[in-house]
Structure 1
């Protein structure tokens, strides 16, 4: 039987920090024995930003050793693997064979189990949807120690409730997922300098059907006529015949393993209004000066090139605040939200804007509309500002991404996700003793009383 170790854990934002008892299961038998210890939550590579995979004074099962490939159907492009397998491991093995994951978020360092728990999405959500669309089925360890299969036709309620369910229904042990056939690991991209919010929304409409992938960087400190200005990047997967001759020599090139690293936490004063304005100019220049053909590493995962980049926000940590609002009255609501952020004094940084398609699932985040993700260093001003921003997002008919949230209050969450009652009914069915719990489940009222 494994022995637990007490240690301080946090999400990628290094906020909040909680002491938890960690376990490292290496087999299904280990995972079952871990259930006997007490309240528990599964954890992958720790790339959720907030308190999704921490458990104050309770147990956390770090599942990264459950990372074996089990079966590969090359004809259908279907991979069966343990849930601790990461997208990086899938890309490294199957990229040279001409396959990539169908859905890629902003980092490849996420496990399949974590991708399901947060129903991750990427730059092509309006085309491809979220991670549920590539999962055929999964095997999950339930609170009573049994393992069951869940799919769209078998235990369908359990299947849908796990996407965006934050790992609160069980420990996902393995999954069957469909990969995407590719000719190259490159993308053909186009960038547009955006003058303001009107221009941004017009450009998204204009190129909606021409490019599968679209994402924009927005200068969140811009005001007045420049509000919503930034750079829109569009792209499509490159075919072999598209590539210039020098890239055709290695069309399925993989990412490099060596990379830069942030070796220590930056001092708190390093990220301020002046430095952010300077960095924004650099980002705008880089984003607006891309090559026509870009490797998937830079296209999907630009920040993966810097190891531990989260330390750049200092020991106080940061949050990534991501919301989605409907397209109806979108310009008006986005204007008001961007004005609130620009005037907040909360030093917004690394702001990503995109369009989302129709949503699925129960607690899954996406729905058809506009989404903006903003990094904020944690300060006293931020803790008083986010409830005001939450209220504005709610009044616009929007909601926050629970997979990144660290500060949302229970009453606001329940107003944003009125379907939580349907999810809680499924929780009572499969985990009536509330064995699977975490800091976020207690904060948002997702535990069984």
Structure 2
């Protein structure tokens, strides 16, 4: 398989690394890739940081390994290659009345990437993370063997891969459970939120009424408006609930994105003034009066704009996502939100959610509050994030490794005390670190 050298980055376009790219067309090609030195698998590149880049080393691009293998239309169990994306699964199976159980903020993620980052969505407090819909997978190990991992077979390998950043092997096939649906629409409710007290109270009030909940927070708001924003709630719509017009095509699919950011915008385009204006626009859009909304707008609103990440310019951006425990949540969130508002780092696209119980060894979620913030990369940001890391750690929290680009090894190990358990699995299955990436070296995730 020919090697092609090129610049790669995550969705945040930071950091950028020169990597050698291989594109396998078969399992044998994937096995051959192990002969060429340390590798990391890569899907559609929607991890934000350095999870799927490998400075001066090899990256295996798996998007051509995306075939469907088996489908059971009575149980909703699908088996396919791990390079298949949620977009491809939705396009084929939503018209049949089946939908992925766990959806993040974009449908352009492969199953292998979904496992590597143990993705979660708006219903984590009820549905959990991606591990809950995966029955088993096959994985190419460092010694060239292919094994099956499930809750009962090679269970250590199964659990260590969810949130394991692709560092234990190349996932080849996945057997997963889809959810039966009557429509591709959601009943939606939007609540204008006055402040943090109101936000936390509203999350509790609607916790058992709606399966899906997510909030946009104005991270520039201070004082009595701290924590203000819009809370969006929803449940899957049954056929009989739809208005007559929507009932004519109840399993409607999404369209391809028509809008696009064709080039990197200049750095000055996103500044304090434009961020404030855009935040007001987002607040208006989020506070939608529509009672029923299509899944594409409900789950994947940003997918409507192709290459929206270029809007931050060539400097790139970091999506900083943390979770902290519910205990003392208001006090801790108040201090963190004030730190962000005072940082001068132009926080943008700020998403707030409540999470349920965690699973897996290096999986991110646990019961608590999570906030994801986009920050354009600036020298000011690079000086600020270590202070924010320290505060999150002080409050018993941690960062989402699937989006991280800046965390240091010492802080990571304090945030994820089970890392030693994960390293034991790494030593068992990959003692020579044939699977490595920039993040594995940055965080000390090597045997």
Q: TM-score w.r.t. structure 1 length?
A: 0.99
Matched, 1:153 2:148: no
RMSD over equivalenced CA pairs, Å: 0.4
Matched, 1:363 2:355: no
Shift of 1:258: 4.2
Name the structure 2 match of 1:215: 214
Matched, 1:304 2:312: no
Structure 2 counterparts to residues 7-18 of structure 1, below 5 A: 7-18=6-17
Gaps of 5+ in 2: none
Deviations 1:383-425 (A, max 9, x none): 0000000000000000000000000000000000011000000
Structure 2 counterparts to residues 219-298 of structure 1, below 5 A: 219-298=218-297
Whole-angstrom CA distance in 2 between matches of 1:445 and 1:275: 39
Whole-angstrom CA distance in 1 between matches of 2:86 and 2:260: 20
Whole-angstrom CA distance in 1 between matches of 2:410 and 2:258: 43
Given that residues 256 and 304 in structure 2 are in contact (C-alpha distance below 8 angstroms), is that contact kept between their aligned partners in structure 1?
no
Deviations 1:218-240 (A, max 9, x none): 00000000000000000000000
Deviations 1:317-360 (A, max 9, x none): 00000000000000000000000000000000000000000000
Name the structure 2 match of 1:55: 54
Could you say what secondary structure the match of 1:70 adopts?
Answer: strand
Whole-angstrom CA distance in 2 between matches of 1:270 and 1:410: 34
Whole-angstrom CA distance in 1 between matches of 2:339 and 2:391: 9
Shift of 1:289: 2.3
Matched, 1:318 2:312: no
Whole-angstrom CA distance in 2 between matches of 1:139 and 1:115: 14
Given that residues 14 and 49 in structure 2 are in contact (C-alpha distance below 8 angstroms), is that contact kept between their aligned partners in structure 1?
yes
Deviations 1:69-92 (A, max 9, x none): 000011110000000000000000
Whole-angstrom CA distance in 2 between matches of 1:379 and 1:19: 21
Whole-angstrom CA distance in 1 between matches of 2:209 and 2:173: 36
Shift of 1:166: 0.0
Shift of 1:259: 1.6
Could you say what secondary structure the match of 1:36 adopts?
Answer: helix
Q: TM-score w.r.t. structure 2 length?
A: 1.00
Given that residues 134 and 174 in structure 2 are in contact (C-alpha distance below 8 angstroms), is that contact kept between their aligned partners in structure 1?
yes
Matched, 1:4 2:8: no
Name the structure 1 match of 2:109: 110
Shift of 1:298: 0.1
Could you say what secondary structure the match of 1:328 adopts?
Answer: coil
Name the structure 1 match of 2:132: 133
Shift of 1:257: 1.7
Whole-angstrom CA distance in 1 between matches of 2:177 and 2:411: 36
Name the structure 2 match of 1:200: 199
Deviations 1:274-293 (A, max 9, x none): 10110111111111124110
Shift of 1:444: 0.2
Name the structure 1 match of 2:444: 445
Matched, 1:404 2:403: yes
Could you say what secondary structure the match of 2:273 adopts?
Answer: helix
Given that residues 257 and 306 in structure 2 are in contact (C-alpha distance below 8 angstroms), is that contact kept between their aligned partners in structure 1?
no
Matched, 1:120 2:119: yes
The list of structure 1 runs, each at least 4 consecutive aligned residues, that deviate by more than 2 angstroms after superposition, is none
Gaps of 5+ in 1: none
Could you say what secondary structure the match of 2:36 adopts?
Answer: coil
